[in-house]
Chain A
Amino acid sequence: MRQKLVLHFPSTVVEQPFVYHLVKDMKLMVNILKANINPRKEGRMVVEVSGEKEDFLEGVEFLQSRGVKVFPLEQEIVWVKEKCTQCGACTVICPSGALSLKRPEMEIQFDDDKCIICEYCIKACPARAMEARY
């Protein structure tokens, strides 16, 4: 199975090597989609985990036992290309570089993998071409 998860790390556990255990001990594939982790602060990570169902459940249990909160990724930000006017206004608002301009064409490109779902673009886009989907 394959699922996207949002992991919340309390400040006390941030520096422990979780991903290592998931990969090594549970044989899971972990693709880190975005990470916002700072020493001694709360952290947030979006990962895509794939592997056997049993391993997956074991992995989730392992994380929870260490104080990590695990949520399924329910929300997704989509770029509605037909609504986009290619203005580029969102590129200075998006903090992750998920929305950027291809130069010299000045065409907008949206890189899903870089999006940290901050939702800033949703109201910053004058054409309302960025949407949150659940």
Chain B
Amino acid sequence: MLVKRTYEEINAKIRAGKAVVVTAEEVVSMARERGVEETAASVDVVTTGTFGPMCSSGVFLNLGQTKPKIKIKELYLNGVEAYSGLAAVDAYLGATQIPETDPANKRYPGDFNYGGGHLIEELVAGKEVLMEATSYGTDCYPKKKAEKMISLEEMPQAFLFNPRNAYQNYNVAVNLSDKTLYTYMGILKPDLGNANYSTAGQLSPLFNDPYYATIGMGTKIFLGGGIGYVSWFGTQHAPEAPRGDNGVPLAPAGTMAVIGDLKQMDPRWLRGMSFLGYGASLMVGIGIPIPILSEEILRHTAVGDDEIFAPVVDYSEAYPQGTGDTLGQVSYAELKSGEITIGERVVPSAPLSSYPGAREIAAMLKEWIQKGEFMLSRPAFTLPATNEGVDYMKSVGPAFSE
């Protein structure tokens, strides 16, 4: 029996409250027990989730005009600079920006207690922040200085727009040198003291749709506790990374840019992070529903942690110098066990991405869909699966007429 479903059919079932939805964790054991064919026949949607530090994140803000009006040249929010080389009171605040006053790594390793990520969390939590804006003054925008407390509610518009999130696979970071390293992959103790990894494995969105058969521009997702959309393929999207027989990339591969209205998000799923000796960041919660349009799509969602492999990379030399060398591959099942083997050495492993958080997001999304509150959207085009990119002239979205 050949399984074929369209977005329209799935949405009709969701609307009727009859859609069968399981999480990307549940589908693994289901498919192992009943087989892929039978599982594909019964399941309409598989929900995924990830909750991890994603540095390439930020918000576009419109601060609302002052009287008289101002065209902001330099803008600080709680001392953190937001880029304001846009129209009058528009700005972009990046997650890793730190206040000018932060000593950074002059006092090594720097604490980075506050930065763009923390500011975003505070805004979403409804807190007021100090806005300090300066300008040179024009005939149309005479004001040269504005200073006030401002909250998200007072801003006419604010949307999260992250250029690179939810990396499909990522390095396992280790340290071969004899000194401690402070990285965006956490603290790496000398001489293979630990191995840090950073994806949710079998629950992670792009591991469940390795060739981007369903995820693309316009896919409706769980973003930061609210609703968002995949807006583009992300920066550094590299679909032609080496892949295993099951199609899952063996190295960092696909990425996506996502967008969503900040005002409906939840500070629980947008958390400011401080990485010792590295900087500030933002932990972002993302969940993507995968419509089971075919058996093939279900087969990919049913891949478990023991079938997903990540490259082990030395962050004392290979990563900073960009040599491309790896120390081999380990499975996410091994990584999650708390110990991996590198050569002859047994090395303790730890995640940076929250697996319980990922599981909760997948479960929440499942519930929204089961209740008929969350419809799936058909993307305008799927993330490019080759380096050729997208043929924008021809793109009509996947699996519509079937």
**Interface positions of A (Cβ within 8 A of B):** 85-93, 101, 103-107, 123-124, 126-128
Contact = CB atoms under 8 A, between A and B. Distances in A.
B93 interface: no
A127 B186 contact: no
Given A87-B353, A92-B348, A126-B273, 13 more contacts: A87-B351, A87-B352, A87-B357, A88-B354, A90-B350, A93-B350, A101-B350, A123-B111, A123-B276, A124-B276, A126-B186, A126-B281, A127-B283
Nearest to B272: A127
A85 B349 contact: no
Contacts of B283: 85, 87, 126-127
B370 interface: no
Nearest to B333: A104
B337 interface: yes
Interface string B265-286: 0000001011110000101000
B186 to A, nearest CB: 5
17 contacts: A86-B355, A86-B357, A88-B350, A88-B354, A89-B351, A91-B348, A92-B195, A92-B350, A93-B189, A103-B338, A104-B336, A105-B356, A123-B276, A124-B276, A126-B281, A126-B283, A128-B113
B53 interface: yes
Contacts of A128: 113, 274
A127 B273 contact: yes
A129 B189 CA distance: 21
A127 B267 CA distance: 13
B51 interface: yes
Contacts of A88: 350-352, 354-355
A106 B356 CA distance: 6
A101 B338 CA distance: 8
A85 B51 contact: yes
A92 B354 contact: no
Task: Tell me the interface secondary structure of chain A in the complex.
Answer: loop
Interface in B176-201: 186-187, 189, 193-196
**What band does the interface of chain B fall in when counting residues whose beta carbon is under 8 Å from A?**
20 to 34
A91 B350 contact: yes
Nearest to A102: B356
B351 A106 contact: yes
A93 B277 CA distance: 15
Contacts of B353: 87
A107 B356 contact: yes
Task: Report which residue of B271, B283, B354, B357 has the largest number of chain A beta carbons within 10 angstroms of its beta carbon.
Answer: B354
A92 B274 CA distance: 17
A105 to B, nearest CB: 7
A19 B374 CA distance: 63
Given A103-B336, A103-B338, A104-B336, A89 B350 contact: yes
Closest 5 pairs between A and B when the two form their complex, measured CB to CB: A92-B194, A106-B355, A92-B350, A126-B273, A86-B356
B283 to A, nearest CB: 6
Contacts of B357: 85-87
A87 B398 CA distance: 35
A103 B338 CA distance: 9
Nearest to B52: A87
Given A106-B351, A127-B273, A128-B274, A89 B336 contact: no
Interface in B284-342: 336-338
A83 to B, nearest CB: 9
Nearest to B281: A126
Contacts of B338: 91, 101, 103
B276 A127 contact: no
Contacts of B193: 92
B187 A85 contact: no
A87 B274 CA distance: 13
B210 to A, nearest CB: 23
B173 to A, nearest CB: 11
Nearest to B349: A92
A127 B351 contact: no
Contacts of B275: 126
B54 to A, nearest CB: 12
A126 B301 CA distance: 31
A3 to B, nearest CB: 33
Contacts of A126: 53, 186, 273-275, 281, 283, 352
